[in-house]
């Protein structure tokens, strides 16, 4: 066979045809995405132990603590007992500095755990102990390994004391520069949440499950984005882009049915008992999952997206997926994940700010960031 310079050989052509056939037959696949959730410290272990039985088929769970007792709750997942030579498995006693020291000893184990990981969620309380002391080191390792990382951070009740509250703020400011995104939930919000829902206080167990629900909705939404094909789909590239828009992440869910399903669902996603009205004028990116029946209409989709644009502005990127669930023809469920351009900041002069709150002379969207970190007045 004569072959001119620069002309592909017949053999090369055969290889190309084979490659095309492989694509058509579905043999050529993208490498699987690995998503991992790591509960750190007592609160983190408690939270993931409660949602783990609900099953996330594509998400790997693990727990990390210095307390054998806390880790005993996390059956069925990988568990890291850290600092055993120092704490003897009894915990750090809330000592953040001990936590910083012992997590360094577990650095190689954490690195191995994060091998081939694409997305990491770290769940912890920032008030004291391992959650506050170890989480910065874990996020640094994730950053060094090029792993996209999101924190799910719980802040203490104000009645736990000024030292505890101030410590959580300092840790949050440190973490802010290490994470790609952060969901920040204040325990104090549970006090108002219980009044709104039932007119009286929840039991402590019921209250904490409300925090669990936020993480569960978030993980379910991410799992849908990464693994579930839809009529219209969102993918990992959309999620990565979303996380570059802002830092703080807010999650809301809305449901509707019948003729007013869109209006009912939209009303619910504009507000959260944990964050109040979603500050759409500070929102820099939106991920939206739409779960609807087979009769979901184009005009309904248009109404949903335009309603969000009216709130957030027409320049804000809105990435949405549409997933048809045939068994619920007139039901609609929306999960909204908003990326808010916020930086942690805290009022130095509390008294004038208190007076402004009492007199009502403030714009709720101009409050300190994150909004719920301000001193709550009840």
pLDDT, tens digit, for every residue of 177-227? 999 999 999 988 888 775 555 555 678 888 889 999 999 999 999 999 999
According to the model, what pLDDT value does residue 70 have? 86
Q: Which of 89-98, 111-120, 245-254, 357-366 has the lowest mean pLDDT?
A: 357-366
Strand-pairing partners, residue 78, are: 62
Q: What is the pLDDT of residue 375?
A: 40
Which residues, 6+ apart, have CB-to-CB distance to 250 below 8 Å? Answer: 183, 272, 275, 278, 337, 338, 340
CA distance 320 to 192: 31
Does the pLDDT at position 370 exceed 60? Answer: no
- Of 148, 147, 155, the C-alpha closest to 173 is 155
Q: Which of 145, 93, 147, 99 is nearest to 120 (CA)?
A: 147
The C-alpha atoms of residue 311 and residue 267 are separated, in whole angstroms, by 12
pLDDT in tens, 315-337: 999 999 999 987 767 899 999 99
- Residue ranges of E strands in the chain: 35-40, 59-65, 78-81, 119-125, 148-155, 181-186, 248-257, 271-272, 276-277, 283-292, 318-324, 331-340
Q: Which residue has the higher pLDDT, 198 or 6?
A: 198
* Helices (H), ranges, 26-67: 41-51
Is the pLDDT reported for residue 123 higher than 90? yes
Helix (H) or strand (E) holding 159: none
Q: What is the pLDDT of residue 27?
A: 52
Cis, bond preceding 370 (omega within 30 deg of 0): yes
Domains of the chain with CATH codes: 35-221 (3.40.50.1440), 228-340 (3.30.1330.20)
What's the residue count for the chain?
A: 378
Q: What is the mean pLDDT of residues 357-377?
A: 38
Give the whole-angstrom CA distance, residue 103 versus residue 105. 5
pLDDT attached to residue 56: 78
SS3 state at 246? coil
Residue 330 has a pLDDT of 81
Higher pLDDT, 10 or 196: 196
Neighbour-count burial for 219-258, b at 16+ CB within 10 Å, e otherwise: bbbbebbbbeebeeebebebbeebbebbbbbbbbbbebee
Residues 58, 146, 340, 371: is their CA dihedral positive or negative?
Answer: positive
Cross-strand pairs, 288:
320, 336
The CB density around residue 99, as the number of other CB atoms within 10 Å, is 29
Of the pLDDT bands very low, low, confident and very high (cuts 50, 70, 90), residue 39 is: very high
3-state SS, residue 321: strand
% of the chain surpassing 90 pLDDT: 53
178 is written with which tokens?
């290490």
Tell me the pLDDT band of 342, cut-offs 50, 70 and 90: low
Asked whether the beta carbons of 67 and 134 are under 8 A apart, the reply is no
347 or 83, higher pLDDT: 83
pLDDT at residue 161, rounded to an integer:
86
* Mean pLDDT (the chain, rounded): 81
Rounded Cα gap, residues 361 and 344, in angstroms:
22
Model confidence band, residue 242 (pLDDT cutoffs 50, 70, 90): very high
pLDDT per position as a tens digit, 257-289? 988 999 999 999 999 988 999 999 899 999 999
Burial 48-83 (b: 16+ CB within 10 A, else e): bbbbbeeebeebebbbbbbbeebbebbeebebbbbb
């Amino acid at each position: 066979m004569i072959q001119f310079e620069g002309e592909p050989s017949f053999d090369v052509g055969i290889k190309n045809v084979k490659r095309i056939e492989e694509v058509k037959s579905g043999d050529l696949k993208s490498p699987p995405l690995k998503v991992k959730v790591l509960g750190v410290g007592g609160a983190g272990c408690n939270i993931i132990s409660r949602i783990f039985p609900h099953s996330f088929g594509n998400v790997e769970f693990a727990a990390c603590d210095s307390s054998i007792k806390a880790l005993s709750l996390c059956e069925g997942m990988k568990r890291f007992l850290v600092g055993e030579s120092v704490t003897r498995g009894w915990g750090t006693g809330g000592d953040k500095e001990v936590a910083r020291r012992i997590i360094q000893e577990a650095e190689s184990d954490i690195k191995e755990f994060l091998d081939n990981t694409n997305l990491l969620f770290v769940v912890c309380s920032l008030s004291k102990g391992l959650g506050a002391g170890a989480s910065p080191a874990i996020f640094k390792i994730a950053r060094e390994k090029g792993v996209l990382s999101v924190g799910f951070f719980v802040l203490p009740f104000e009645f736990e004391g000024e030292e505890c509250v101030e410590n959580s703020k300092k840790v949050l400011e440190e973490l802010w520069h290490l994470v790609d995104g952060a969901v920040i939930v204040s325990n104090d919000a549970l006090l108002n949440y219980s009044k709104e829902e039932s007119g009286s206080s929840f039991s402590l167990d019921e209250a904490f499950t409300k925090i669990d629900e936020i993480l569960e909705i978030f993980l379910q939404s991410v799992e849908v984005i990464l693994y579930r094909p839809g009529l219209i789909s969102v993918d990992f590239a959309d999620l990565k882009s979303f996380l570059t828009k802002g830092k703080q992440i807010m999650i809301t869910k809305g449901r509707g049915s019948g003729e007013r399903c869109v209006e009912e669902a939209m009303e619910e996603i504009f507000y959260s008992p944990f964050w109040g009205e979603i500050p759409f004028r500070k929102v820099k990116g939106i991920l939206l999952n739409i779960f609807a029946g087979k009769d979901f209409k184009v005009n309904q989709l248009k109404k949903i997206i335009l309603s969000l644009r009216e709130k957030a502005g027409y320049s804000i990127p809105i990435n949405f997926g549409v997933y048809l669930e045939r068994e619920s023809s007139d039901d609609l469920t929306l999960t909204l994940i908003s990326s808010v351009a916020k930086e942690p900041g805290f009022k130095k002069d509390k008294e004038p700010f208190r007076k402004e709150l009492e007199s009502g002379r403030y714009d709720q969207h101009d409050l300190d960031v994150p909004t719920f970190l301000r001193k709550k007045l009840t």
